[in-house]
Amino acid sequence: MNLAIVGTGYVGLVSGTCFADMGVNVTCIDINERKIEELRRGVIPIYEPGLEEMVLRNVQAGRLRFGTDLSQGIDDYDVIVCAVGTPPGEDGSADLQYVLEVARTVGRHIGGYTLFVTKSTVPVGTGELVRAAIRRELDQRGMNVEFDVASNPEFLKEGAAIKDFMEPDRVVVGVDSGRARTIMERLYKPFIENGRLLLFTDIPSAEMIKYASNAMLATRISFMNDIANLCERLGADVDMVRQGMGADPRIGPKFLYPGIGYGGSCFPKDVKALVNTARSNGYDMKVLRAVEEVNGAQKRLLFEKFRDYFRGDIAGRRVAVWGLSFKPETDDMREAPSVVIIEHLLRAGCEVCAYDPVASEEARRILGDGVRYCRDKYEAAEGADALMLVTEWQEFRMPDWCAVRKAMRTPVVFDGRNIYNGEELAAKGFAYCSIGRR
Ligand code: UDX
């Protein structure tokens, strides 16, 4: 089978590489010529464990190619997968211009049956817009070519993307023709061995599954952050509460960890987009509006705890920040809580010394040179009045606390991810604040 994947961002590159690894001939296409040039030389634009090795292996085997022009050899592709970005517009609604441009390109160039699969996260109803865009171009050419559209949302998590793709919990495919269904069954067959679920739905439902799943997960996080904040006020411990709740199989233990708010490229964008889609259809998603509001407040929480600890006397204080990416195992800084925290610190006149194992370069592009980017976690702690644990990278879990204690001017730890033990830190001479714990 020959596959084109348009858009060589996170989803496109990971999906394309994984399909190639399963034996499909894949061409990854992107309009960014520099990116494609680099990929051809084996330079991977994102940090994702295992990806580089997999790209090189499949390029060498001749199953994975890169290009900048979808129209070239378009009739060789059995399937064209669209994985371009859908950034939020001014009002929070997903911007579809890139998706529709790919659809128009397809309509302008195909000469025979093609299956157009949308993998980008797109609002419910986009399948029909894509179909209309392809149809219009074909009509203009006076061509009567058969084609199908399908929706195949992606559920991969950054940092675990390869495993998520190769061993999915479920594959969701929205189709409205038997021919499209047969092709998608063939494409995904190797991924759903061992009884994994390949769920066929209609197209709008597949589009909705993606939004509803992300919105549900975001809701769990904001709910637990609310519970954690209340635990603090009532003298309860959210760790215990979480364990007790998670033992109910209807709730389950995952995604119940309070912290400093969710970030990344999906949750914030998808929650906003769903609220927006609802609004433009005359429906008010009250729960999701609250989810967003709680998340916004939670991103400021660590800064507020720090400010309150020093009773507002914070100008001129040096703060060590451990971790910058929105979560571990990625250099992705999109919507990262670190950005909100650091902007507040800088505005309050604090000095910020930050360290992240991989995201410093990305962070510099967003936060600029007002932050000192350190080579390691101990350098960041040098002379600090407070240490903030912002991203729970493995290497922060068991630091040499004696070295940290010696390096810091005031030994106070603000743990934004509840990874440390307060008693242990107290015994080592630190004051300790976390989220929702006693
Ligand atoms: C998410 C979805 O999990 C994935 O299915 C979808 O395709 C894209 O969006 P990702 O953005 O990579 O994936 O991150 P994820 O690991 O889900 O974490 C999202 C955010 O939630 C992070 O900021 C994380 O710190 C936060 N989080 C997660 C919590 O605060 N508490 C938790 O218990 C879990």
**For position 91, what pLDDT does the model report?**
83
157 CA to middle of ligand 1, Å? Answer: 7
Q: Answer yes or no: same fold for 2-201 and 202-438.
A: yes
Per-residue buried b or exposed e for 336-346, using 16+ beta carbons within 10 Å of the residue's own CB: bbbbbbbbbbb
Percentage of the chain with pLDDT > 90?
Answer: 97
Strands (E), 152-283: 170-174, 197-201
Which atom of ligand 1 lies at the shortest distance from residue 153's CA? 7
211 CA to middle of ligand 1, Å? Answer: 13
> For ligand 1, atom 21, which residue shows the shortest CA distance?
262
**For position 93, what pLDDT does the model report?**
84
Nearest alpha carbon to residue 152 among 190, 179, 178, 115? 115
**For position 88, what pLDDT does the model report?**
82
Which atom of ligand 1 lies at the shortest distance from residue 336's CA? 23
Torsional sign, CA 383, 385, 387, 388: negative
Longest dimension (CA), the chain: 79
Catalytic entry in 18, 82, 266, 433? 266
Q: Which residues lie below 8 Å from residue 247, measured CB to CB, with a gap of 6+?
A: 253
The residue written with tokens 């990416």 in the block is 325
143 CA to middle of ligand 1, Å? Answer: 44
Instruction: Compute how many other C-beta atoms are within 10 angstroms of the C-beta atom of residue 223.
Output: 16
Which atom of ligand 1 lies at the shortest distance from residue 218's CA? 21
**For position 94, what pLDDT does the model report?**
86
> For ligand 1, atom 22, which residue shows the shortest CA distance?
262
pLDDT tens digits, 237-274? 999 999 999 999 999 999 999 999 999 999 999 999 99
133 CA to middle of ligand 1, Å? Answer: 33
Q: What is the mean pLDDT of residues 127-156?
A: 97
> For ligand 1, atom 34, which residue shows the shortest CA distance?
255
**For position 152, what pLDDT does the model report?**
98
In the structure encoding, which two tokens stand for residue 226, read together? 């609310």
Q: Which of 119, 154, 221 to mutate to test the pocket of ligand 1 (most atoms within 8 A of CB)?
A: 221
pTM for this structure? 0.94
Show me where the domains of the chain are located: 2-201, 202-438
pLDDT tens digits, 25-35? 999 999 999 99
Contact by Cβ (8 Å): 217, 295? no
> How many angstroms separate the CA atoms of 355 and 374, rounded?
5
**For position 313, what pLDDT does the model report?**
98
Nearest alpha carbon to residue 124 among 215, 212, 210, 204? 204
Which atom of ligand 1 lies at the shortest distance from residue 266's CA? 9
Ligand 1 first shell, C-beta below 6 A = 154-158, 214, 217, 221, 255-257, 259, 262-264, 266-267, 326-327
Which class in CATH covers the domain with range 202-438? alpha beta
**For position 90, what pLDDT does the model report?**
82
Which atom of ligand 1 lies at the shortest distance from residue 335's CA? 23
For the cut 90, the answer to whether the pLDDT of residue 194 exceeds it is: no
What does each C-alpha distance from 418 to 267, 282, 422 come to in angstroms? 21, 40, 9
For the cut 90, the answer to whether the pLDDT of residue 143 exceeds it is: yes
384 CA to middle of ligand 1, Å? Answer: 30
> For ligand 1, atom 6, which residue shows the shortest CA distance?
155
pLDDT tens digits, 9-58? 999 999 999 999 999 999 999 999 999 999 999 999 999 999 999 999 99
- Here the ipTM equals 0.94
> For ligand 1, atom 20, which residue shows the shortest CA distance?
262
Which CATH code is given to the segment(s) 2-201? 3.40.50.720
Nearest alpha carbon to residue 418 among 432, 396, 434? 434
> How many angstroms separate the CA atoms of 285 and 277, rounded?
9
Cα atoms in the 13 Å half-sphere on the side-chain side of 433: 21
Name the residue type at position 412.
Answer: V
In the residue annotation, 266 being an active-site residue is answered as yes
226 CA to middle of ligand 1, Å? Answer: 17
DSSP codes, 132-172:
HHHHHHHHHTT----EEEEE----PPTTSHHHHHHS-SEEE
Beta bridge partners of 388: 321, 414
For the cut 90, the answer to whether the pLDDT of residue 111 exceeds it is: yes
> How many angstroms separate the CA atoms of 414 and 193, rounded?
45
For the chain, what is the total number of helices (H) and then of strands (E)?
16, 14
In the structure encoding, which two tokens stand for residue 75, read together? 């009739």
For the cut 90, the answer to whether the pLDDT of residue 438 exceeds it is: no
